[in-house]
Amino acid sequence: MQKTITIQVKRYIPEKQPTPFYQDYEVPLETKWGVLDALTYIKDELDGTLAFRWSCHMGVCGSCGMMVNGQPALTCATFLEEYLPGPICIEPLDHFPVIRDLVIDTDAFMGKLKYVKPWLIPAEERSVDDGENRQTPAELAAFKQYTLCINCLLCYSACPVVGLNEDFLGPAAIALAQRYNYDSRDAGQTQRHDVLLDHGGAFDCTLIGECSRACPKHVDPTGAIQRYKADGAMEFWKRLLLPRGAAKR
């Protein structure tokens, strides 16, 4: 019976070697061990210099996303037994600058996320004394799916447009913009239209659908982008044909 499995890790240690290299480690093939457990074993028992991110180990924080045998995955929810007899190749997520080993630079994504204003923009300010701003179940259902995004960035790694166009806002940012666009308490749709209709916005997406296939939370960014393309086309023609200000929502 197989008792160990080989983990091939793509290493990048810029202060020692300017080019990435692969390093093999033999780890125990423990029942129910995830890839993240194997990396933790390597870090604790074999090579303390290995760098990677993780936090919750429960598929909630999204920080342990990596390429596993060429596919973006949450390593806490990807199990060694799925890849028998091995080896398993672990690499940093595609389409991001690498800081060290499996740690990627997410600054560009965070800038894009802020750009789409992923927060409630009310029509008028409310105080605590005004009480709850209630929604019906149907109003919640209009955007609830998009609230499930954990910013794991697997969709960015899976998206070929992100790999070709550094200006593209990307699947998660557009899906989160839609989360607020469809929120009945929000009045910031016009501000987000200015971003999503611009170069790098939703219309740069070619609707290949890899982002939705990679999403571990079934957010369906492709569906969010498709919905926005319909909304955005309507907004474009309103701005083109209606008097100034008449198209504002």
pLDDT tens for residues 55-102? 999 999 999 999 999 999 999 999 999 999 999 999 999 999 999 999
Do residue 202 and residue 129 come from a single domain?
yes
Do residue 97 and residue 114 come from a single domain?
no
Do residue 162 and residue 147 come from a single domain?
yes
Do residue 134 and residue 211 come from a single domain?
yes
3-state secondary structure of 147: helix
Residue 248 lies in a domain: no
Q: What is the mean pLDDT of residues 25-39?
A: 96
Do residue 177 and residue 116 come from a single domain?
yes
Do residue 149 and residue 68 come from a single domain?
no
Do residue 118 and residue 136 come from a single domain?
yes
**What is the four-CA torsion angle of 26, 28, 32, 35, rounded to 10 degrees?**
-20
Q: How far apart are CA 84 and CA 61, in angstroms?
A: 27
Residue type, 114: K
| Domains in the chain, number | 2
Containing structural domain, residue 44: 4-104
Q: How far apart are CA 222 and CA 180, in angstroms?
A: 16
Residue that finishes a domain, picked among 71, 104, 137 = 104
Residue 112 lies in a domain: yes
Q: How far is CA 153 from CA 19, 79, 106, 139, 164, in A?
A: 24, 20, 9, 27, 16
Q: Is the pLDDT reported for residue 191 higher than 80?
A: yes
Residue that finishes a domain, picked among 75, 104, 133 = 104
Per-residue pLDDT tens for 161-185? Answer: 999 999 999 999 999 999 999 999 9
Beta-sheet pairing, 88-91 with 4-11:
parallel
Q: How far apart are CA 126 and CA 57, in angstroms?
A: 38
Per-residue pLDDT tens for 121-161? Answer: 999 888 888 888 899 999 999 999 999 999 999 999 999 99
Q: How far apart are CA 62 and CA 140, in angstroms?
A: 24
Residue 246 lies in a domain: no
Instruction: Give the end-to-end CA distance of the chain in Å, rounded to a whole number.
Output: 65
Predicted confidence at residue 244, as pLDDT, reads 65
Residue that finishes a domain, picked among 39, 71, 104 = 104
Do residue 98 and residue 176 come from a single domain?
no
Residue 45 lies in a domain: yes
Q: Is the pLDDT reported for residue 50 higher than 70?
A: yes
Do residue 59 and residue 142 come from a single domain?
no
Do residue 80 and residue 148 come from a single domain?
no
Do residue 132 and residue 221 come from a single domain?
yes
Residue 55 lies in a domain: yes
Residue 134 lies in a domain: yes
Do residue 113 and residue 236 come from a single domain?
yes
Report the percent of the chain where pLDDT is more than 70: 97
